[in-house]
Amino acid sequence: MNKYLCIIKRFTSSKPSQSPPKIKSKEPLLAHETKYGNITKKWNYRSEIVKHKKLDHKHYFIWLGFGAFSLIGGLFFITIKSAVLKNRKEEMQMRENLRKELELTGQERKQIGVMDSITKD
């Protein structure tokens, strides 16, 4: 019930519920002037207008987000790639130790390889 009373008071009061927005006074946009005979034309580059009115402000956050995602993706790639290389080196070292224990040479060395665990089921 209290909620409804607040709404009714808000609509029946003569005072505005919010203060009007404050208008910031900006520096005027300086224009370039070009004379064509008796006529003077004022103009600006597009980049000057965009910068003055801050039209590219939202794009700033988009680029920050894109950069953050790229950085995170790169870090994940580096982490996973280094783990894969480390595992491959360990497996290679294990195979080499097994070959040395069995004293295999020549064609016999090729019997111990990566595919052994798959084919001997």
* Predicted local distance difference test score (pLDDT) of residue 16: 59
Which residues have a Cβ under 8 Å from the Cβ of 57 and sit 6 or more positions away?
Answer: none
* Predicted local distance difference test score (pLDDT) of residue 81: 98
Query: CA 36 from chain center: how many Å?
Result: 48
Average pLDDT in the 8-17 region? Answer: 68
User: Of 118, 97, 117, which Cα lies nearest the Cα of 109?
Assistant: 97
The pTM for the full model equals 0.46
- Spatial separation of the C-alpha atoms in residues 73 and 67, rounded to whole Å: 10
**Residue 35, H or E segment:** strand 32-36
- Render pLDDT for 81-121 as a digit per residue (tens, 0 to 9): 999 999 999 999 998 888 888 887 777 777 776 554 555 54
- Render pLDDT for 37-94 as a digit per residue (tens, 0 to 9): 999 999 899 888 888 888 877 788 889 999 999 999 999 999 999 999 999 999 999 9
